Structure 1
Amino acid sequence: MIADRRATLPMHARRVLAYLSLQKLARPDCDRGQLAERLWPDSSAERSRASLRTALWRIRCADPEVVAVDCERVSIADDVAVDVHRFRTIAEQILAARTPDDFPVAPAGLPSVTDLLPGWDEDWLLLVREQLRMLRLHALEHGAAVLTAHGRHPQAIDLILQVVDEEPLRESAQAVLINTHLELGNVADARRQFDDYVALLWSQLRLRPSPQLVAVLDTTR
Structure 2
Amino acid sequence: MVLSSDPQWSLTLLNGWRLTRDGRRQKVAHRQQRLITALALLGERPRTFLSGLLWPDSSDAQAAVGLRVSIWHINHELPGLLDADGNTDVSVALSREVMVDIIALERELDAPASKLSDSYPKWERLRTAELLPGWYEDWILVEQERFRALRTAALDSIASYHLSQGNTEETKAASKLAIALEPFRESSYRLLIQAHLATGDLVSALETYRSFAADLRQEFGVGPSPSLAKLIDGAVGNSGRQMDFDSLPLSQMLPSLRPVTAKSEAPGVNLGWVLATQKL
Normalising TM by the smaller chain, what interval? 0.7 to 0.9
* Whole-Å separation in 2 of the counterparts to 1:116 and 1:176: 26
The 8 Å contact of residues 152 and 178 in structure 2, kept in 1 or not, is answered as yes
| Alpha-carbon shift at residue 104 of structure 1 (Å) | 7.7
Q: 1:180 to 1:21 in 2, by over 3 A?
A: same
* Whole-Å separation in 1 of the counterparts to 2:99 and 2:63: 28
* Whole-Å separation in 1 of the counterparts to 2:223 and 2:127: 29
The one of 151, 154, 158 equivalent to 1:139 is: 154
Q: 1:144 to 1:66 in 2, by over 3 A?
A: same
Q: Which runs of at least 4 in structure 1 moved beyond 3 Å after TM superposition?
A: 101-107, 109-115
Q: Does 1:41 align with 2:59?
A: no
Identity of aligned residues (%): 27
After superposition, residues 1-221 of structure 1 pair within 5 angstroms as: 1-24=20-43, 29-69=44-84, 71-93=89-111, 96-97=112-113, 99=114, 101=115, 103=117, 105-106=119-120, 107-112=122-127, 115-220=130-235, 221=237
Structure 1 counterpart SS, 2:22:
coil
| Alpha-carbon shift at residue 130 of structure 1 (Å) | 0.4
The 8 Å contact of residues 9 and 58 in structure 1, kept in 2 or not, is answered as no
Using structure 1 for the length normalisation, give the TM-score: 0.87
* Whole-Å separation in 1 of the counterparts to 2:75 and 2:119: 35
Using structure 2 for the length normalisation, give the TM-score: 0.70
1:180 counterpart letter in structure 2: A
- Equivalent pairs counted in the alignment come to 213
| Alpha-carbon shift at residue 137 of structure 1 (Å) | 0.7
Give the helix-richer structure, 1 or 2: 1
Q: Which structure would you say has the larger Rg? A: 2
Gaps of 5+ in 1: none
| Alpha-carbon shift at residue 113 of structure 1 (Å) | 6.2
1:87 counterpart letter in structure 2: L
| Alpha-carbon shift at residue 111 of structure 1 (Å) | 3.2
Give the strand-richer structure, 1 or 2: 2
